[in-house]
Amino acid sequence: MRYLVERSAPVDLSCLGTQGPRPIHWACRKGHAAVVQVLLSAGVAVNAPDFKGLTPLMTACMFGRIATAAFLLGMGALNHLADINGDTALHWAAYKGHAELIRLLLYSGVDLQKPDNFGSTPLHLACLSGNVNCVKILCEKSKIELQPKDKNGKTPLLLAKSHRHSDIVQVLVTEEKRRARWMPPLSKIWALLFGGAGDSKGPLLLFMGSVLLWGYPMYLLRCVPITWNILRVSHYCFIYWNLLMWFSWIVANRRDPGYVTVNSDGYYRAIKQIPYFDKWKKRNIVLSRLCHTCHCLRPLRAKHCRICNRCVEYFDHHCPFIYNCVGLRNRIWFFLFVMSIAINCSFTIYFACYCIAIEGFEIMYVLGLIEALVFCGLGWILTCTSILHACMNLTTNEMFNYKHYSYLRDKRGRYENPFSRGPILNLVEFFVCHPDYNKDHDFLEEEPI
């Protein structure tokens, strides 16, 4: 190919026939990323369509060429383009049953529910392919609709039943039952507390309203006149922890949680080396850590937050109560915030009980006591959980998804935490030192070409 380019051969002509693929389409069909690189360098458009509107990215997804697809995305290929039938790269990956390509496209910010000209969504086509892993990956996204109808009135479940894909039918039915429960499971409640609320400000407004419109007025108008002279030291401690709570909330909310630099040099170095991955033993590791949204190579233990739309170093979770991610740079302030809530609510329970003992069971005191018990329980749960994770040197994300991370498994596939150095050193690392795990240069080694 280099020889042909040097001799000014035509390298972007369409074949004769009904489809008219160009050389870059043939290279993507066979997964020859190095040839694609040569063609792009010669001026071939990365989104060049054939007669049916298929782009090189669609062709790579059609034939399961994940390395080539990653290279094309890194070189600027658009994932939302559609062919003459309205099918995008995600439609083709789902129809052909390429689960890893679906996951790659999800990280590039593709639309999961875009229908083609026949009304089929990627979930429809995944059910047709019979690949249960593709269906599971798509169903993991809680916002995706499970029962959209195509132009024939068929839902993904009906298509799976008609093609006798019993395992897919079971996955869809189970997911429908899970979403239809009036009482969400414990994992769903936990997800709500740890970022499942998405970009909703509901939890934050609930907290602010409870404290500013109910808690403080009750404290100043009812509690202080009764108990100030009796419990003055307790009031001083309560005021101190309230000041610390608001200060830590402001810092946790406003501070950069540890965003990974966008358009990083490591990302483009990795993209350039993709055509030579056949010689690279760490191919799968690097492919899984490329973020085509942030154009960065995610460090170990980093994760892309779909709410903030940024990759966060040492990602713990997205907390709706601080309306920010919890990561490497603000995790201590988040810990101080939840601990302050727990301590303040404990003082509130103490003051409420004292007022009840003096003035009897009044409805205002009882309501305040109930509210304090709820927030106190939540605060201490989050505090103890944060301490537990710090002692284990794990993040909340890793605790719930440890099966998905290869670095948390040994050679036999069993759970193993390579970061833990004992509870004491783990706590020192959490509160004092910043961890320094595998930087780009550890696995982006230049090879002679």
Mean pLDDT of the region 325-337 = 93
**Euclidean distance between the first and the last CA atom of the chain, given in angstroms as a whole number:** 16
**Residue 448 host element (H or E):** none
89 or 443, which is more confident?
Answer: 89
3-state secondary structure of 276: helix
- Alpha carbons 360 and 340: distance in angstroms, whole number: 28
Question: Looking at the predicted structure, is the pLDDT value of residue 289 above 70?
Answer: yes
- pTM passes above 0.75: no
Cα atoms found within 13 Å of the Cα of residue 69, Cβ hemisphere only: 29
Mean pLDDT of the region 83-94 = 95
Question: Looking at the predicted structure, is the pLDDT value of residue 55 above 60?
Answer: yes
Which residues belong to CATH 1.25.40.20 in the chain? 2-180
Task: Give the 3-state secondary structure percentages of the chain, helix then strand then coil, rounded to 5.
Answer: 55, 5, 40
pLDDT tens for 91-147 read: 999 999 999 899 888 878 788 889 999 999 999 999 998 999 999 888 876 568 888
- Work out the pLDDT band at 36, boundaries 50, 70, 90: very high
Q: Which two tokens stand for residue 342?
A: 């727990």
Distances (CA, A) of 30 to 23, 55, 71, 100, 258: 11, 14, 14, 17, 39
Report the pLDDT value the prediction gives residue 447, as an integer from 0 to 100. Answer: 43
Report the pLDDT value the prediction gives residue 185, as an integer from 0 to 100. Answer: 58
Mean pLDDT of the region 236-253 = 95
- Work out the pLDDT band at 282, boundaries 50, 70, 90: low
Question: Looking at the predicted structure, is the pLDDT value of residue 53 above 80?
Answer: yes
Give the CATH number of domain 2-180: 1.25.40.20
> What is the dihedral sign for C-alpha 132, 136, 139, 141?
negative
The region, left, alpha or beta by phi > 0 then psi within -120 to 50, assigned to residue 64 is left
pLDDT tens for 299-326 read: 888 998 878 888 999 999 888 888 899 9
Report the pLDDT value the prediction gives residue 236, as an integer from 0 to 100. Answer: 95
pLDDT tens for 181-238 read: 665 555 555 555 544 445 567 778 888 888 888 889 988 988 899 889 889 999 999 9
- Work out the pLDDT band at 359, boundaries 50, 70, 90: confident
Mean pLDDT of the region 72-91 = 93
> What is the dihedral sign for C-alpha 385, 390, 393, 394?
positive
